[in-house]
Amino acid sequence: MRLDQVAPEIPSGQDSSVCVACDISEEGQLRRVFEAEGIGGIIHLAAVLPTAAQRDPWRGTQANITGSLNLLKLGREFGVGRFVFGSSLSIYGTCPATRVVSEADRAAPEDLYGAAKLYVEQLGRAYADLSFVSLRIGRVVGPGAKSKTSAWRSEIFELLHADEPVRIKLPYVGVERVLLAHVDDIAKALASLLGGARICHGGYNAPCEPVAVADLKHQVEALNPNITVELGETYAAGNPRGVDFSRFRDEFGFEGPPIFERLRAAAVKNGRAIPQSGPR
C-alpha cells in the first residue's frame, strides 16, 4: 500500500524518477500525488499478497480493491494515457497439470487475492475512457524480492554466492509444477504494455515457464553445493500449472531466457564454477 521513499532532489540531466510515500487506499493522499506529479501513465502493482490478504481480509480489501478503485478514478480524472494493471494467473484458480489456460478460459479464483484481481480487471473495463490493460502474472522470481511468505523466490538467486552451508525452504512437493517468471521479464512486459502505441486486447497472460519443483531443487543445488533446498508437502493450489502466453508473445515479439539459464548466469556473475553437466 505504500511507496517507502520521499522524493529525492534530482540533479539536472539525470534520471528524473522520484519515489513518493503514499497509501493508495486513502484517496486524499493519492489525489495530492496526482496534483503534484503530472502522471501520464500508471503501472499498478501495489497489493497485499495472498497469504497476508487471507489473514487480514479488511486490509487486503482496502489495498487490493479500494486502492485500485482510487487509482482508476483519479487516473480518469487527471487524463492518464495508459493504465497497466498487474493482475495474476490466480484468477484462473487451480487447474489440472494437463490443462493449459489461455485468456479465453473462464476465470474461477479461489481466494480473496485472486477474486480482487478479477474484480479490478472488471473495474478497469468499466472505466471505458481509460486505456486499461491487465497483465496476468505468475510466480515472480529473481533477486531483490523481500517476501516473508515466499522467500525462496529471491533466495534461489541471491544465495548462489554462498560460501557456507545454507538452506532454502521451497514449500511444494517435488512432482509439482509451478509457473515462474523472472522479474526482469515481467518488468519489460509491463513497460511494453505501457509504451505500446496500440493495444489489441484488454488482458494478457504474462510470459511464464512451467518448472518442475524437483528439477528446480536439483539445478540450484548443482550450481552451488553449499545450498540445500528443502521441499515441502503441499501442492500449488489456486493457480494453473500451464499457461498459453502466445497472445502477448506474438503481439510484442517477446520471450525471455529460460529460468535455468537465468540461474546459471546468476551463478557465473557470483563467481561460481558451472558444472559441465546437470539438470536442465
Task: Dump pLDDT digits (tens) for 178-212.
Answer: 999 999 999 999 999 999 888 999 999 999 999 99
- Chain-centroid distance of CA 77 in Å reads 27
Which amino acid type is present at position 211? V
Interaxial angle between packed helices 67-77 and 27-37, expressed in degrees from 0 to 180 and rounded to the nearest 10: 40
**Do the beta carbons of residue 22 and residue 2 sit within 8 Å?**
yes
Q: Does any domain span residue 34?
A: yes
- Residue 59 CA to residue 53 CA, distance in Å, equals 7
CATH number at 190 reads 3.40.50.720
Q: Does any domain span residue 279?
A: no
pLDDT tens-digit readout, 69-101: 999 999 999 999 999 999 999 999 999 989 999
pLDDT (average), residues 261-278 = 79
What pTM did the predictor assign?
0.89
Residue 93, Ramachandran bin (φ over 0: left; ψ between -120 and 50: alpha; else beta): left
- Residue 237 CA to residue 277 CA, distance in Å, equals 33
Cell of 260: 535455468
pLDDT in the model for residue 11 = 40
Report the domain count for the chain: 1
Q: Does any domain span residue 7?
A: no
Name the nearest CA neighbour of 180 among 203, 148, 197, 157: 157
Q: Does any domain span residue 165?
A: yes
